[in-house]
Structure 1
């Protein structure tokens, strides 16, 4: 069978027809609709959202933007930040095609380079394997196994870096607190699972919707930025957990204090 492969850069009009990649089987959910609203807002700020279509079927995507509009907590002025890179049809080189498209665009626009944040604990961040294959350099490690990788275009450019006060940020949240933005459509169900577990334990989570990059850079207790759950100064989650897992973590912390 012949495979017809296209890389399509989405805009508001195409998004209306194709929709975003993640959670596309549940287009009526609040999380999916919030993601599409978020994308439309970010298109106006230069966000790039490119899908791979194989015989008109969505099989992968990359999302990236300039650092000053990024949803990742990293100091990377002049760089492009990759939010997500995901391919469901593996072994066909689609991930490489998407990454090369991003690198080419960043270089043509005179950026300093490209950065990405990875974490082996979750599929909510891109896997670092692809970036290692394409000569990305390790820049930094943060709490909870977050890693910063970069592809600087010149030796002379300033290197990106993480904030250095993660532990202090955690101590700001003695009460059960959910910090989130809608860059990821799974944030909605992840929030719901926290709330359901908390209710069983008689806890009422504080919900903080991060509206601006400035707020994100100041408050987020992880480099991932778009979803963090903190209780008694401890990080509970930075990706979706089951209600049972959340319950066990919260219960343990409650018993320890």
Structure 2
């Protein structure tokens, strides 16, 4: 059986599904927001490659210089997300997608590929143990256990921006930095707004809408970051129970 993958382009962006949320043709504001964000990123060399099937099988990466993360380095790719779920697991799709990314990086003369990880795997980050099988190694870390993994082709390594290691802000209320890169962000923001309004919880929701803002963030970031009482909490998207646990601190 032939296995077909598709790369999103400015020409097919509106017609192709985005894998993260597989739905009918009903409108979905999170998907619309991601399409809008991608429409500009694709022009910068951003890559979104997916299985040509109704399935959650995809990889998303970009040149580090234009990746919306507080990581600095020269001539690297940043791997935002590599995901295979459901019945598609165990078919080798993850290996195919990673091998495509690495081959693409080498073909374009990149110095390597990097990604965000952690000492303890986070639910909304790609599987770092899988990446390490390809030779990714920890090249930088924060005091609270987040790690920068990289596979270097030439001995150079990227690093977290100094601001990303601060992990603290002056604002003490619930504060969330986010970018509309992930289709789940929109509905999560709406849930948090509703919960905080119902329970009189002060909240600051800060949309990261430029590359410069992303590069200067006061914490590690993949597309989402949560602070409470001035302290960094997580890069994981929140459900109601997780939000309640944070607010009890």
TM over 0.5: yes
| Map of 1:142 onto structure 2 | 142
Q: Displacement, 1:190?
A: 2.0
Deviation at 1:59, TM superposition (A): 4.5
What does 1:16-165 align with in structure 2 at a 5 Å threshold? 16-25=14-23, 28-53=27-52, 56-88=53-85, 89-119=88-118, 120-155=120-155, 158-165=156-163
Distance 2:227 2:110 in 1: 35
Is 1:229 aligned to 2:204, yes or no?
no
Moved more, 6-15 or 80-89: 6-15
Gaps in structure 1 of 5+ consecutive residues:
none
Count of aligned pairs between the two proteins: 245
Name the residue aligned to 1:180.
178
Unaligned runs of 5+ in 2: none
Give me the TM-score of the superposition, normalised by structure 2: 0.89
**TM-score using structure 1 length:** 0.87
Contact 1:197 1:246 in 2 (8 A): no
1:5-20 superposed matches below 5 A: 5-20=3-18
The structural deviation recorded for 1:231 is 2.1
Task: Note closer, same or farther for the CA distance 1:76–1:167 as it changes in structure 2 (3 Å cut).
Answer: closer
More helix by share: 1
CA 1:248–1:133: 2 relative to 1, 3 Å: closer
Cα deviations by residue, 1:2-52 (Å, 9 ceiling, x for unpaired): x33112111122222222111132652211111111111111111111112
| Mapped partners of 1:144, 1:201: distance in 2 | 30
Tell me if the contact between 1:106 and 1:113 (Cα under 8 Å) persists in the aligned partners.
yes
2:64 and 2:42 map into 1 onto residues whose CA distance is: 14
SS in 2 for 1:203: coil
Q: What is the aligned partner in structure 2 of residue 202 from structure 1?
A: 200
Separation in 1, partners of 2:241, 2:123: 20
Offset at residue 97 of structure 1 (A): 0.9
Distance 1:244 1:37, change over 3 A: same
Displacement of 1:199 after TM fit? 2.4
Distance, in Å, in 2 between the alignment partners of 1:220 and 1:193 is 24
Mapped to 1, the partners of 2:46 and 2:240 lie a distance apart of 33
Distance 1:236 1:197, change over 3 A: farther
Cα separation, partners in 2 of 1:12 and 1:19, compared to 1, 3 Å = farther
Judged with a 3 Å threshold, the aligned counterparts in structure 2 of structure 1 residues 180 and 238 are, in CA distance, closer, same or farther, namely same
The answer on whether the counterparts of 2:70 and 2:164 sit within 8 Å (CA) in structure 1 is no
Question: How far is 1:167 from its partner?
Answer: 5.9
Q: Is 2:70–2:217's contact at 8 Å kept on the other side of the alignment?
A: no
Say what the alpha-carbon RMSD is for the aligned residues.
2.0
Retained in 2: the 8 A contact 1:146–1:223?
A: no
> What is the deviation of 1:85?
0.5
Equivalents in 1 of 2:192, 2:232: separation in Å? 13
